[in-house]
Structure 1
Amino acid sequence: MAGRGSRLRPHTLTVPKPLIPIAGKPIVHRLVEDIAGVINQDIEEIAFIIHKDFGKQVEIELVAIAEKLGSRGTIYYQNEALGTAHAIMCAKDSMQGPIVVAYADTLFRADFTLDTSADSVIWVKQVDDPSAFGVVKLDGERIVDFVEKPKEYVSDLAIIGIYYFKSGETLRAELQYLLDNNIVKGGEYQLTDGLENMKQKGLKFVPGKVDEWMDCGNKNVTVETNTRMLGFLHQDGENLVDANVKMENSTIIPPCHIGADVVLINATVGPNVSLGRGCHVIDSSIKNSLVQTHAHIKNANLDNAMIGNHASFDGKFTSISIGDYSVLE
Structure 2
Amino acid sequence: MRIIIPMAGMGKRMRPHTLTVPKPLIPIAGKPIVQRLVEDIAKVCHEPIEEVAFIIGHFGEAVEQDLRSIAQSVGAKGSIYYQEEALGTAHAIMCAQESLDGKVVVAFADTLFKADFRLDTDADGTIWVQRVEDPKAFGVIKLNANNEITDFIEKPQEFVSDMAIIGIYYFRDGAYLRSELQYLLDNDIRDKGEYQLTNALENMKNKGTKFIPAVITEWLDCGNKNATVYTNQRYLEYIKDEEGLVASTAQLQNAVIIPPVYIGENAVIHNSVVGPYVSIGNNTSVYNSVVNNSIIQESTTVKNGNITNSMLGSFVSYEGSQADLSLGDYNTLKE
After TM superposition, the score normalised by the length of structure 1 is 0.98
Q: Indicate the residue corresponding to 2:116 in structure 1.
A: 111
Q: Indicate the residue corresponding to 1:144 in structure 2.
A: 150
CA apart distance, 1:247? 1.4
Instruction: Give ranges in structure 1 of 5+ residues lacking alignment.
Output: none
Q: Indicate the residue corresponding to 1:41 in structure 2.
A: 47
Q: Indicate the residue corresponding to 1:187 in structure 2.
A: 193
Is 1:252 the equivalent of 2:257? yes
Is 1:163 the equivalent of 2:169? yes
Is 1:202 the equivalent of 2:208? yes
Distance in 1, matches of 2:24 and 2:42, equals 17
Aligned length: 327
Is 1:231 the equivalent of 2:237? yes
Distance in 1, matches of 2:61 and 2:164, equals 35
Distance in 2, matches of 1:319 and 1:238, equals 30
Distance in 2, matches of 1:107 and 1:66, equals 17
Structure 1 residues 14-23 or 64-73, which shifts more?
A: 64-73
Distance in 2, matches of 1:87 and 1:160, equals 17
Matches within 5 A, 1:50-65: 50-52=56-58, 54-65=59-70
Is 1:31 the equivalent of 2:37? yes
Is 1:322 the equivalent of 2:327? yes
Distance in 1, matches of 2:8 and 2:48, equals 26
3-state SS of 1:158 partner: strand
Distance in 2, matches of 1:101 and 1:250, equals 43
Distance in 2, matches of 1:247 and 1:46, equals 38
Instruction: Choose the corresponding residue for 2:74, options 60, 65, 69.
Output: 69
CA apart distance, 1:118? 1.5
Distance in 2, matches of 1:116 and 1:36, equals 13
Query: What amino acid is aligned across from residue 229 of structure 1 in structure 2?
Result: Y
CA apart distance, 1:317? 4.1
CA apart distance, 1:327? 0.4
Q: Cα deviation per residue 1:87-127 (whole Å; 9 max; x = unaligned)?
A: 00000001011100000111111011212221100110111
Query: What amino acid is aligned across from residue 263 of structure 2 in structure 1?
Result: I
Is 1:124 the equivalent of 2:129? yes
Distance in 1, matches of 2:292 and 2:253, equals 18
3-state SS of 2:177 partner: helix
Distance in 1, matches of 2:261 and 2:175, equals 44
Distance in 1, matches of 2:118 and 2:72, equals 24
CA apart distance, 1:287? 0.4
Query: What amino acid is aligned across from residue 288 of structure 1 in structure 2?
Result: N
**RMSD between aligned residues:** 0.8
Distance in 1, matches of 2:183 and 2:140, equals 24
Identity %, equivalent residues: 59
After TM superposition, the score normalised by the length of structure 2 is 0.96
Distance in 1, matches of 2:174 and 2:22, equals 27
Query: What amino acid is aligned across from residue 205 of structure 1 in structure 2?
Result: F
Query: What amino acid is aligned across from residue 308 of structure 1 in structure 2?
Result: G
Q: Indicate the residue corresponding to 2:220 in structure 1.
A: 214
Q: Cα deviation per residue 1:199-255 (whole Å; 9 max; x = unaligned)?
A: 111110001111011000000100010011101111x54441111111111101000
3-state SS of 1:260 partner: coil
